[in-house]
Amino acid sequence: MKLTRLVFAAAIAAFVTLPPVTQAESPDAFQPLFNGENLEGWHGRPHFSPIKLAEMSEEERNAKLAEWQADAEKHWSVENGELVNDGHGAYLVTNQDYRDYELHLEYKTVPRADSGIYLKATPQVQIWDSTETAKFKLGADKGSGGLWNNSAGAAGKDPLVHADKPFGEWNSVRVLQVGARTTVWLNDQLVVDHAIMENFWDRQSPLFVSGPIELQTHGGEIRWRNLKIKELSTQEANNTLAAKHANQFESIFNGSDLTGWVGATNNYEVVDGAIVCKKGTGGNLLTEKEYANFVARLEFRLPPGGNNGLAIRAPLKGNPAYEAMCELQVLDNTATKYANLDKRQYHGSAYGMAAATRGFLRPVGEWNFQEVTVDGSTITVELNGTVILKTDLSKITDYMADSAHPGKDRPKGHFGFAGHGDAVQFRGLSIREL
């Protein structure tokens, strides 16, 4: 089950005793999450799967929320503008869901306390007593700030440095969240660097597209203050993703004309720094150069019902969906006319061979950021910071409509676009050869 902002909203919509905070626009675009006076804008919830919560009937869900809220109000209080928990009870969860954002807060805790910050309803940025020897086997000695619920050995699970301050001092946390990509600074030291945050609740699925912030606490008093958040615009989020390792990529589009491209050049044009497939035309626009193993980055924008594709290791002639290693779909998944497609035809899928996870496209008309890694027979597609496809095409034996894909084992070929008559736009095109 894929959860979206709407699903999370449904889970708390009926709980009207907790209205959202009324927030005025601040000069730095950050909005306060805590008003310094009461629990307005928050509700109670323990460590509980948002998937299970969304699956409940409205009556069951409302009863649970009321039960958790009563528990939270026993253990949370406000003192001197600080949010205080006594180490017990339900956690605090924002009424609002967030997709891409920068979160700032400060916390102060006590020996043997254990806490954390849930992002998109998922545990967690770890906070604990890094001197408690009994928990060294769990990694406490490495310090706070890591994505502790990531799999063993996964990037981000352990903090890069030990940055905790001594007890009695305030610790500052800064989180930059774009898709599933998580970066954390603890006391101005980088402790998690652009790591994929795993979905604790469903390891086979990506992190939810959006969800609330949750303050976990147990085992001892913890205090919070200066909680604020800035929701990133689409372009801010895309720029954040594009900036990572940008110096390792080489541009393959000059932003002015189709120099360096071959094929259906008459069916594509450059408009406002983007390559656009002319409406009603199509065909394959390909790089002059061939690539074997590479990482490609691009931004794309879909019109309503838009359909195009990325040609991967394509020959100069033939249909990339079959003659190339694959065609990665570029598609408006929300269009009514596409409601009944084979699951291997939706956006990000290796056409007819491997299905991508849906639900992570931005609204039609907004720019999406996509990174495609081609390494041997394996293809990974990361859309807006979330991996939606990772597949080894050499292991594919089941094809849509039983149609063979003779090109899937090609070791190299051209990169480009497979137009299907819609004015899909592409920009920010770059490649890093592996």
pTM of the model: 0.93
Distances (CA, A) of 376 to 291, 294, 410: 11, 9, 9
Q: What is the mean pLDDT of the chain?
A: 93
Query: Over the stretch 258-287, which tens digit does the pLDDT of each residue have?
Result: 999 999 999 999 999 999 999 999 999 999
**Core vs surface per residue 419-432: b (16+ CB within 10 A) or e:** bbbbbbbbbbbbbb
Is residue 191 exposed (0-12), middle (13-18) or buried (19+ Cβ within 10 Å)? Answer: buried
As a whole number, mean pLDDT of residues 349-372 equals 98
Position 218 scores a pLDDT of: 87
Query: Over the stretch 26-84, which tens digit does the pLDDT of each residue have?
Result: 446 999 999 999 999 999 999 999 999 999 999 999 999 999 999 999 999 999 999 99
Instruction: Work out the percent of the chain whose per-residue pLDDT is above 70.
Output: 94
Residues comprising the chain, all counted: 434
Domains of the chain, each with CATH number or no CATH: 5-231 (2.60.120.560), 240-433 (2.60.120.560)
Query: Over the stretch 160-205, which tens digit does the pLDDT of each residue have?
Result: 999 999 999 999 999 999 999 999 999 999 999 999 999 999 999 9
Position 226 scores a pLDDT of: 98
Residue that is written with structure tokens 């086997």 in the block: 137
Do strands 91-94 and 42-45 pair parallel, antiparallel, or not at all (unpaired)? Answer: antiparallel
